[in-house]
Structure 1
Amino acid sequence: MGLDMYLYLEDKETSEVIEYSYYRKFNALQGYFVEKFDIPNCGKVKLTEEIIEDVYQILNDIRYNREKANLLLPTFPGPFFGSYDYGRIYHSYIDQAASDFYHAKFVDFNKYNLFYTSNW
């Protein structure tokens, strides 16, 4: 049991779902989406190019200014949400997500929708 988060693509023609990225207990990213979009458990957010760019900029700013992590993307409390430290695990999530959101900027949005969802 724990916080699982996904980015997934949905083919606009076939409705086929393709897992794009997976995060386990990255509570800070969950906090971003809960605070911005007030999503419930298992809720989903359709990601626009603007949202992707916003998240990418935050993640990238933290990569180069790690001491600002608690200000830019603070940890988020919840049931089974993992660690609240700004240590190695937090920053490995940041690095992975920064790469994923960077590449998400190049998704063909004429063919796919990209969503964020979570479950705990």
Structure 2
Amino acid sequence: MGLDMYLLLEDNDTGEIIEYSYYRKFNALQGYFETNYNIANPGKIHLKEDIINDLYIRLNEIRYAPEKANLLLPSYPGPFFGTYEYDRLYHSYINQAASDFYHAKFIDNKKYKLYFASDW
């Protein structure tokens, strides 16, 4: 048991769901969605351009100013949510997510919808 999160692409023509990215126990990302969008468990939210851009800016800023992590994307407590330290693991999640959200900015929205989904 634990916190599992996904970025999912849905093909607008076929309805096919494609796993775009996976995160395990990245509680800060879960906290962002619970705090800002009141996501339920299990939950799913459509990621529109403004959400993708906001997250990318936060993630990228943390990459270059790690001391801002607790302000921009703080650890978030929850059942089986993993570590709450701003350590190497936290920053590896930040780097992966920054790359994923950068590429998400270029997804063809006419062909695909991007979703964040989580379950714990």
Give the TM bin, normalised by the shorter chain: over 0.9
Report the identity percentage: 68
SS at match of 2:84: coil
Partner of 1:57: 57
Aligned pair count reads: 120
SS at match of 1:101: helix
Which deviations, in whole Å up to 9, do the C-alpha atoms of 1:55-105 show, x marking residues without a partner? Answer: 000000000000110111000000000000000000000000000000000
SS at match of 1:55: helix
Partner of 1:85: 85
Which deviations, in whole Å up to 9, do the C-alpha atoms of 1:17-73 show, x marking residues without a partner? Answer: 000000000000000000110011111110011110000000000000001101110
SS at match of 2:117: strand
Q: How does 1:1-120 map to 2 (within 5 A)?
A: 1-120=1-120
Structure 1: give runs of 5+ residues left out of the alignment: none
Which TM-score applies when normalising by structure 2? 0.99
* CA-based RMSD: 0.4
Structure 2: give runs of 5+ residues left out of the alignment: none
